[in-house]
Structures are given as C-alpha cells and as structure tokens.
Amino acid sequence: MTKNPNNPKNKQDKLKQEKLKQDKNIIASHTGVTRSKLILVSSLLAAALILGYFFFRNDTPEVQKTEVKGVLPQPAEVNSGIDSVLRNFGIENKWIRDAKENPKTQKNSSQLWFSKDVMIPVELPATNVNLELTSFLREKNLLVRTVEDPRSKNLRMDVLSSTDTVRGRIGQIRLSYSDSVKRISSAVCIILDSIEYLSLEDAGKIINSGEEFSVIMPLRNDKADFQSLITDRKRDYLVELTYGGEESYEADFREGMSEKEWRSKIRSLCFNFPSMSGIILRGKNLPQSFANSIREEFEKFGMKVFADTNFVDAWYKSEKPERLLTELKNRTGSGSKKLVMITSLSAADFEELTSKSAALRKRGFRFIDFKEISNKDKKETTADSVSSKPKQVQKKK
C-alpha cells in the first residue's frame, strides 16, 4: 500500500525524522569541538611538564654517594697514604706542594684536611694517578669527585666525607702536567738465554706471553722445535757466537779458521736467520783484527755485531727475579737510561719477574725488545747486561 505524502500523519512523521537528524548533527558537532579541546589541553599540559623539567632540574654533576659502613680515617693517615700512592708513580716529594701554605689558595683550603698541588710529567697519564688515588680514598670511606680541564687535561679531585655531609669537602688534590719534571726510569730489554734447556711446554709459555723481551736463538740442529717456536711467534731474537782456540771444536769461530770457511758460516747464518736483531760475539782471546773482519762481513748483510765486552756480567744462582730488579733499579739510579739484561730464567722465574716488574712499569720503566732499544740510539749502543747463568754451566751448540 503506497503512503500518501499529503496525509497529515505522514507529514508529521517526516518532520520528526528531520528534527531528529538535526539534533544528531548538533550533538556530533559539539562532540568534535570537545575532543579538539581535550587534545589541545593535553598537548599544552605535556609541553608545560617538559619545560618545567628542564627549567627546574639541577645541572650540577652529581656525586655518587654510596652508603659506606665504617668510621672516617684520621687526617694524617689519609695525607700520608696519598703521598705513598704518588710515590708509587715515581712522583718525587718536591713535586708535591701544600696548597694550604699558598697565599692564593690559603683562604679556601685552611679548613681542609689536605690540599695538594701535584706536578706530574707529561708522559704520565693523570687518569692513571686519579684511578689509584680514588681507589685508596674509597677504601678509607671517602668519596671523590674529579673534574678535568678540557684544555690542559689537568685534574682537580675534590674529596668528600661519605658519612658527614654537613662538612662536605674535606680535601683537594690538583694534578697538573709540567715539562719541568722527569721521572727516574729507563728503557729495559731482557734477553733470555738458554731457553732450549727448558721443556718445550715451559718455553712455549714464555715465548707466547704478551711481555716484550728478546731471546737468544739456539743454533743446534736438534733444537729445531725451539727455533720454530721463536720464529712462528715472531719473537725478537739474537744469535750468540763464540771464538776459541784451534782445538775448540764447539766454538763458532776458531783460531786458524780459513777466510772462506768463516765467510761461508756468516752467509749461512744470515740466510737461515734473516730476522735476527743482533749478534753477540764472545771470546777471551779474540784478535781485534779478526773481530773487525767478522763485524764487517755481517754488516754486508745488514746485521749488527756486539762484542761481549759491551756486557757487564753478574752471576746469580738464586733469587734471580728479585736480584735482577734490584740491579736494574741500582743502574737506573746511577743514570743509565737504557739497560740490556741477559739472563736465563725458568718458567716460574719468568712469571715472578713479570709480576714484580709491574711496580717498575708504574714508575715509568719501559720493557721493550732488543730491536727497539738498539734503534733508540744507532750512533752509540751500550748494553749493560746481567747474566744469571752459573759460571760452571757451559752451553753446548
């Protein structure tokens, strides 16, 4: 049945539908405005929070404050401990000045336990000193805040109490680089002799270590395993040659030896061991003219010969590592800047020497191989050596 559009009832229904549609449009319009306002308000609130964070936050570097159990140490204990740490780096007492006695800083440091101005040589990283000092002070229940000058790389260390925040800073250390101070140290080369008399396993532990040193290459044919161990590891090595009488059949060069024979021997050595960084020539009755001829022949192949008279021997039967380090320190104290030490060590001795030499490394001693130390001064090479082989032991090649 078709609806009559002119029917009054139908007209009323149509008007109601149009009215309802208009109301929905109005509601939708208001809802859209409300959502827009909510989004705008939320955005403004978020922006305000972000700005407030950056405005009110504190840009001052924070000190890591950890709860430390224990009481504060005595000022004298801390003061002497700091000086001890500095001395371990080879820093002399005259390089350490009391800033509390300086009129320029006296006002700001008079109430402190200590205030030190420390001059350090340019070759000593200030960060290494800072690390050791910080470790010591933390063990004493103190906190450290370190600031580095971006230009000079000098450091200022503020020491604070970890249990008394009222007093705040109790000490200050300034580490400043200076060209006017030099540590007493030397470049050291250790040459290990007689390594072929160790087991191949022990020799491997030494040769494969990360330490810088050189070895005497064994020349006997039955020591090929040791030769390969040295060359495969690219360990720096020297060759030791001897001179003896006409009947000294174990000597490399003998009295009465023909020129053709000794020249051939030199060529063979240079061919078989092209990477040797030096040749040590030993012999009590070696004629100077013959020594010069041997030296000149080796120099044709670019090899450097060192006479045994360049070495000062000292014989040690026990406590080798300790006595070697003592000898090293004594010679350095006497003014030696380059030291070449020839010694024979067991694997245990080598490990002990490596461990005990750490204190010298901290003081500025450098342990290098023979090639590097001989290149430091090609015009004049002086080798101060210490051989720890017993006199009665004679090597056989």
Give tens-digit pLDDT for 167-193.
Answer: 678 999 999 999 999 999 999 999 999
Distance CA 303, CA 278 (A): 6
- The predicted pLDDT at position 59 comes to 47
Q: What is the pLDDT of residues 313-323, one digit of tens each?
A: 545 666 788 98
Domain CATH for 126: 3.30.460
Show the tokens assigned to 316: 């040690």
Structural domain contains residue 386: no
Show the tokens assigned to 391: 């006199």
pLDDT-based confidence at residue 307 (cuts at 50, 70, 90): confident
User: Is the Cα torsion angle 311, 317, 319, 320 positive or negative in sign?
Assistant: positive
pLDDT-based confidence at residue 61 (cuts at 50, 70, 90): very low
**Mean pLDDT confidence for 365-372:** 94
Residues 132 and 238 in one domain: no
- The predicted pLDDT at position 335 comes to 83
Contact 371, 236 (CB under 8 A): yes
Residues 174 and 237 in one domain: no
- The predicted pLDDT at position 339 comes to 87
Beta strand ranges found along the chain (DSSP E): 96-98, 114-121, 142-148, 155-161, 169-178, 187-192, 214-216, 237-244, 253-254, 279-282, 305-307, 338-343, 366-367
pLDDT-based confidence at residue 85 (cuts at 50, 70, 90): very high
pLDDT of residue 202 exceeding 90: yes
Residue 112, domain extent: 75-178
Q: Which of 54-68, 73-87, 258-272 has the lowest mean pLDDT?
A: 54-68
Q: What is the pLDDT of residues 22-45, one digit of tens each?
A: 655 554 455 454 566 666 666 666
Q: Nearest-CA neighbor of 332 among 369, 360, 368? A: 360
Q: In what order do the strands lie in the sheet with 114-121?
A: 96-98, 114-121, 169-178, 155-161, 142-148
Residues 170 and 196 in one domain: no
Q: Which of 96-110, 283-297, 349-363, 367-381 has the lowest mean pLDDT?
A: 96-110
Structural domain contains residue 48: no
**Mean pLDDT confidence for 189-200:** 94
Structural domain contains residue 27: no
- The predicted pLDDT at position 165 comes to 52
